[in-house]
Chains A and B, each alone.
Chain A
Amino acid sequence: TQLLEQSPQFLSIQEGENLTVYCNSSSVFSSLQWYRQEPGEGPVLLVTVVTGGEVKKLKRLTFQFGDARKDSSLHITAAQPGDTGLYLCVVSYNFNKFYFGSGTKLNVKP
């Protein structure tokens, strides 16, 4: 059973462009996290959101948790080559078990 759908699967853009990636599910979750994974490394946490409608900003990254707590988006402004990586959406029902989406593979070309 696919709990999470992330879109797009792949994204290749030029440096300086803006982009948005999405994470969607039919289920309500207690929390949602975004991780970034670089080649040859493990995922690293970017942000955690728990409140419906919550918006968090991390420099050029803006994260939003949908009002119904079933979806989230990640917006990157003026993308840089250092943003290249696999962006993973992770949800939890009970703060113990975490489910990963399949990820969006982002490539930012200089």
Chain B
Amino acid sequence: DAGVIQSPRHEVTEMGQEVTLRCKPISGHNSLFWYRQTMMRGLELLIYFNNNVPIDDSGMPEDRFSAKMPNASFSTLKIQPSEPRDSAVYFCASRRQSSNTEAFFGQGTRLTVV
């Protein structure tokens, strides 16, 4: 099992540029989560999907952030335009949608906006 796969691992971009982060969940998992981790705020849930449908996006900080899940094996998180305060590690996690199941995390994408 390859686990949750995120790409890229590292991204450095200039302020104002569009950034797209990608995630491939574990096969058979029907819930997918996007988190952002910073020293100041810890791990914050941005959005989660059940069966490819966005359920709760209340954690998405601004309209500059958008997420899609076109099929069960792929999701994207896009920031347009990016700002220096978006610099963080972005994690994708997946799990089976049932009580108490483990969420498996990818290795994260470290985003730096200069």
User: Which of these binds chain B: A15-23, A56-64, A67-75, A98-106?
Assistant: A98-106
B100–A50 CB distance below 8 A:
yes
Interface members, chain B 85-101 (any A CB < 8 Å): 91, 93, 97-100
Tell me whether A44 is interfacial, beta carbon within 8 Å: yes
Q: Bound complex: CA of A30 vs CA of B108, how far in Å?
A: 28
Q: Could you tell me the distance in whole angstroms from the C-beta of B28 to the nearest C-beta in chain A? A: 17
| In the bound complex, CA of A33 to CA of B45 (Å) | 16
Interface string of B98-113 (1 = CB under 8 A from A): 1110110111100000
Give A102 to B42 CA distance when docked, in angstroms: 5
Q: Is the CB of A42 within 8 A of B56?
A: no
| Complex alpha-carbon distance, A88 and B105, angstroms | 13
Asked if A98 and B45 sit within 8 Å, CB to CB, the answer is yes
Q: Return the contact of B43 from the options A30, A31, A88, A95 (Cβ within 8 A).
A: A88
> Residues of A within 8 Å of B, CB-based: how many?
21
Q: Is A80 an interface residue (CB 8 A)?
A: no
Complex CA gap A30/B98 in Å reads 13
Q: Could you say which of A50, A88, A97, A103 has the most chain B C-beta atoms within 10 Å of its C-beta?
A: A97
Expressed in whole angstroms, the Cα–Cα distance for A97 and B81 within the complex equals 28
Alpha-carbon distance A4/B57, docked complex (angstroms): 20
Whether a CB of chain A sits under 8 angstroms from the CB of B31 is yes
Q: By the criterion CB–CB under 8 Å, are B93 and A42 in contact?
A: yes
Pick the contact of B100: A31, A40, A97 (CB < 8 A).
A31
List the interface of chain A (C-beta within 8 A of B): 30-31, 33, 40-45, 48, 50, 88, 95-103
Interface residues of B (CB under 8 A from A): 4, 31, 33, 35, 42-45, 48, 50, 55-56, 91, 93, 97-100, 102-103, 105-108
What are 26 A-B residue pairs whose CB atoms fall within 8 Å in the complex?
Answer: A30-B99, A31-B99, A31-B100, A40-B107, A41-B108, A42-B105, A42-B106, A42-B108, A44-B105, A45-B103, A48-B102, A50-B100, A95-B98, A95-B99, A95-B100, A96-B31, A96-B48, A96-B50, A97-B45, A97-B48, A98-B33, A98-B103, A100-B44, A100-B45, A101-B42, A102-B42
